[in-house]
Amino acid sequence: MKKTATKKKILSVAVFCSGQGTNLQAILDACRRGKISARVVVVIVDNASALAISRAQKAGVPVVFVDPAQCPSRAQYGKVLAAATARFKPDLIALAGFMRILSPSFVRRYKGKIINIHPALLPAFPGAHAVRDALAAGVKTTGVTVHFVDEQVDHGPVIAQRPIPVKRSDTEETLLRRLHRAEHQLYPEVIQQIARTGSNKRVRSK
C-alpha cells in the first residue's frame, strides 16, 4: 500500500507590535524565505501610527488596531485584545516591541503560547530601559532573551539567550543596533524551534 505523505504543520503566529516592527519584519522575511515553518496570520497593534502596520500590509497580513483609549482599564483592554486575537486562532503569540503589559486574564488564556524578546540577559535589566541600564551598570556583556510570558513583567521561562559584548565606546544607540541584529536572528530561530518540536526547551546560545 502506498504511504500517504504527512503534511507539514505550519505554525500560525500572531505578532503584537507598538512601533517600528523590525522584529516583525525579521519574522515575515524568515517566513517568506522558508526559513521557518510558520506564517503570520495577524499583526495586532496598540498604536495607530506604528510603522509595523505598513510592514504587515506590504506582506499582505491583516492588521488589527486595538485602541487602548477605548478601554478604561487593563482588564478591559485584555478582554478586547483576547477577542481580537481569538478570531485568528494563532498557535503562538509573539510580542515584538509591544509596549503594553498584558492583563493576567489574557496571559492565563494563552498560557504557554506567548513569547517575548527583550534586549538584555534576563533576569538582568528588565523593563523599558534595559540598554541604558546595562550601560549605566558598566557590564561587559549584555544580550537578548526570548522567553515565555507569565503574569510578571519581563519574566517567565527563558527559551533562548544570546550574549553580546559591550564595548567601551558604546552608546545606547550603538549597543542597541547590535542587540537588534541579534534579536532579528534569534527570534525566528526560536519560532522555528517551536514550529518543529512544540518544545519550550532552551535554544543553545551563540
Active site residues: 118
DSSP state of 203: B
Contact 83, 153 (CB under 8 A): no
Which residue intervals of 87-165 are DSSP H helices? 104-109, 130-137
Cα separation of 28 and 46, whole Å?
Answer: 19
Taking alpha carbons only, the member of 87, 91, 33 closest to residue 62 is: 87
Whether 24 contacts 59, CB under 8 Å: no
For 206, counting Cβ atoms within 10 Å of its Cβ (0-12 exposed, 13-18 middle, 19+ buried), the class is exposed
d(CA 142, CA 186): 15
63-65 vs 141-148, strand pairing mode = unpaired
